């Protein structure tokens, strides 16, 4: 993977502000990148999965910004085509200038992605950085500092953390919910784990009743020790990672680098030499057929 080389690459990504508000559209890692941008803009920008917009009316004064590494996702292309026919402004954050999505959208923003697997770490961080910049968010160039802190935190905790055999719940509020969602995607792709992200309080409204003692939980916390103590009473394996920082950018990037580093450390700890999703040939084919609209 491209974890160790991304800091230098990120410092070279610079984009001008393009709009005051927009609607980001993306799936998987791309959805998480847009969701983080939504939080960073205090919800002036919004983020949706393309499937959320299949039957929606387009808002005339909004720019619809499609986030897609390949530019080939079937539903993204379909929504972009409908948006253009409706006369609304469209843009795409992508690494593929020659894709169907790039041809449809009014504006193409190259995200500086590193080519490789769709789980590429630098691809994700470059996407979220690009999405924030074009919405006018100025992020300090402190990636090396945040990277070191995230890596060190993962090393401090890696011995006590495991790849769960049963369901893993990843819990966090606000921007840390988006990071928890990102972690759930990486746990599935790297290890074939069943990992589910929830907002911390929302978890307690209903999903908590499906909790078993064989399940695990990771809390991405912001001074939420009281909640941790209450959940500990349920006697299931629970890890609490404190990410509180008054600097929202530090909190964001330290937590993202922590997740990425932890994934690598867990892979080393358990002897994983290959991403599990690549080895699941039938599942991968089914996934690709649905995402890219391939015929059976």
Q: Do 171 and 244 share a domain, yes or no?
A: yes
- Taking residues 197-203, report their average pLDDT: 95
Q: Do 121 and 237 share a domain, yes or no?
A: no
| pLDDT tens-place string over residues 40-67 | 999 999 999 999 999 999 999 999 999 9
Q: Do 128 and 206 share a domain, yes or no?
A: no
Q: Is residue 116 very low, low, confident or very high in pLDDT (cuts 50, 70, 90)?
A: very low
**Domain-located, residue 295:** no
Q: Do 11 and 114 share a domain, yes or no?
A: yes
Q: Which domain holds residue 260?
A: 161-278
Q: Do 90 and 170 share a domain, yes or no?
A: no
Q: Do 123 and 74 share a domain, yes or no?
A: yes
Token code pair at residue 45: 């920008």
**Domain-located, residue 150:** no
Q: Do 105 and 180 share a domain, yes or no?
A: no
| pLDDT tens-place string over residues 118-145 | 457 888 999 999 999 999 999 999 999 9
Q: Do 128 and 166 share a domain, yes or no?
A: no
**Domain-located, residue 259:** yes
Asked whether the predicted pLDDT for residue 112 surpasses 50, the reply is: yes
Tell me which of 257 and 290 has the higher pLDDT. 257
Provide the number of structural domains found in the chain: 2
Instruction: List the CATH number of the domain containing 205.
Output: 3.40.50.10490
- Taking residues 154-174, report their average pLDDT: 95
**Domain-located, residue 152:** no
pLDDT at site 49 = 97
pLDDT at site 113 = 52
Q: Do 124 and 218 share a domain, yes or no?
A: no
Q: Where do runs of H (alpha helix) occur along the chain?
A: 6-11, 29-40, 74-85, 100-104, 121-134, 143-157, 175-191, 200-205, 225-232, 248-270, 276-279, 281-292
**Domain-located, residue 148:** no
Cα 156 off chain centre by: 23
Lowest mean per-residue pLDDT among 81-95, 115-129, 143-157, 175-189 = 115-129
Percentage of the chain beyond pLDDT 70 is 96
Q: Do 177 and 103 share a domain, yes or no?
A: no
Residue-averaged pLDDT of the chain: 92
**Domain-located, residue 149:** no
Q: Do 166 and 266 share a domain, yes or no?
A: yes
Q: Is residue 117 very low, low, confident or very high in pLDDT (cuts 50, 70, 90)?
A: very low
**Domain-located, residue 296:** no
Q: Do 128 and 168 share a domain, yes or no?
A: no
- Taking residues 262-267, report their average pLDDT: 95
**Domain-located, residue 186:** yes
Beta strands 238-242 and 107-110, pairing class: unpaired
pLDDT at site 7 = 84
Percentage of the chain beyond pLDDT 90 is 80
CA angle 42, 34, 100 (to 5 degrees): 145
């Amino acid at each position: 993977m491209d974890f160790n080389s991304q800091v230098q690459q990120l410092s070279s990504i610079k984009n001008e502000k393009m709009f005051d508000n927009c609607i980001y559209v993306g799936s998987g890692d791309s959805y998480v990148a847009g969701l983080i941008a939504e939080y960073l803009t205090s919800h002036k920008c919004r983020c949706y999965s393309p499937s959320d917009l299949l039957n929606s009316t387009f808002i005339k004064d909004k720019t619809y910004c499609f986030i897609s590494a390949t530019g080939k996702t079937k539903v993204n292309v379909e929504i972009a085509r409908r948006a253009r026919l409706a006369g609304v402004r469209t843009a795409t954050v992508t690494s593929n200038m020659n894709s169907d999505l790039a041809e449809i959208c009014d504006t193409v923003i190259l995200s500086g992605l590193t080519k490789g697997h769709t789980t590429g770490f630098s691809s994700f961080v470059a996407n979220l950085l690009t999405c924030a910049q074009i919405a006018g968010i100025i992020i300090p160039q402190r990636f090396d500092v945040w990277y070191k802190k995230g890596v060190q935190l993962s090393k401090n905790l890696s011995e006590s953390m495991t790849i769960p055999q049963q369901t893993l719940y990843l819990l966090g509020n606000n921007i840390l919910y988006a990071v928890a969602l990102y972690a759930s995607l990486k746990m599935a792709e790297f290890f074939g784990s069943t990992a589910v992200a929830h907002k911390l309080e929302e978890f307690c409204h209903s999903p908590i009743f499906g909790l078993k003692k064989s399940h695990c939980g990771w809390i991405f916390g912001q001074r939420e020790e009281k909640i941790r103590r209450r959940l500990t009473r349920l006697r299931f394996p629970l890890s609490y990672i404190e990410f509180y920082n008054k600097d929202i950018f530090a909190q964001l990037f330290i937590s993202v680098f922590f997740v990425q580093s932890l994934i690598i450390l867990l892979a080393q700890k358990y002897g994983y030499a290959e991403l599990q999703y690549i080895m699941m040939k039938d599942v991968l084919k089914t996934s690709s057929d649905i995402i890219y609209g391939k015929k059976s």
